[in-house]
Amino acid sequence: MAKRHKSALKANRHSEKRRLINKGNKSRLRTALKAIRVKIEDGLVAEARSALPQLYSVLDKMIQKGVIHENAVARYKSRLTKQILKQIPSTTSATPTSSANPPAV
């Protein structure tokens, strides 16, 4: 810790204040990521999908606060969305079986 100069003392106070704020923001980020990852692992796809917009909001706020880089956030969003979509059972088939439009002969 700085001992003599006023500017050094002030810088130390400021840096300690910022450290505590950043610590809280990082904790909030990790908690949000963990919550959605647990939902994905437990197979709660509907809950994970509904929680995704809130996670996106937290991630975007962390970019603005300088806690995490924009590219890292894009990577998180992409990977988590991919994991959720992978667990959704596909209900559409490759060929439609509708008799409304029979094939032309």
**Per-residue pLDDT tens for 7-56?**
999 999 999 999 999 999 999 999 999 999 999 999 899 999 999 999 99
Q: Is residue 77 part of a domain?
A: yes
Q: Is 60 exceeded by the pLDDT of residue 99?
A: no
Q: Is residue 32 part of a domain?
A: yes
User: In whole numbers, what is the pLDDT of the chain averaged over residues?
Assistant: 88
Q: Which helix (H) or strand (E) holds 72?
A: helix 70-87
Q: Is residue 40 part of a domain?
A: yes
Give dist(CA 49, CA 39) in Å, integer: 9
CATH (domain of 58): 1.20.58.110
Q: Is residue 10 part of a domain?
A: no
Structure tokens at 48: 């994970």
Q: Is residue 78 part of a domain?
A: yes
Q: Is residue 80 part of a domain?
A: yes
Whole-angstrom CA distances from 69 to 47, 50, 66, 74, 79 are 27, 25, 7, 9, 16
Q: Note the pLDDT of residue 90.
A: 62
When divided into structural domains, the chain yields a total of 1
Question: What pTM does this model have?
Answer: 0.73
Give dist(CA 22, CA 65) in Å, integer: 9
Residue ranges making up the domain that contains 75: 19-87
Q: Is residue 8 part of a domain?
A: no
Q: Note the pLDDT of residue 105.
A: 59
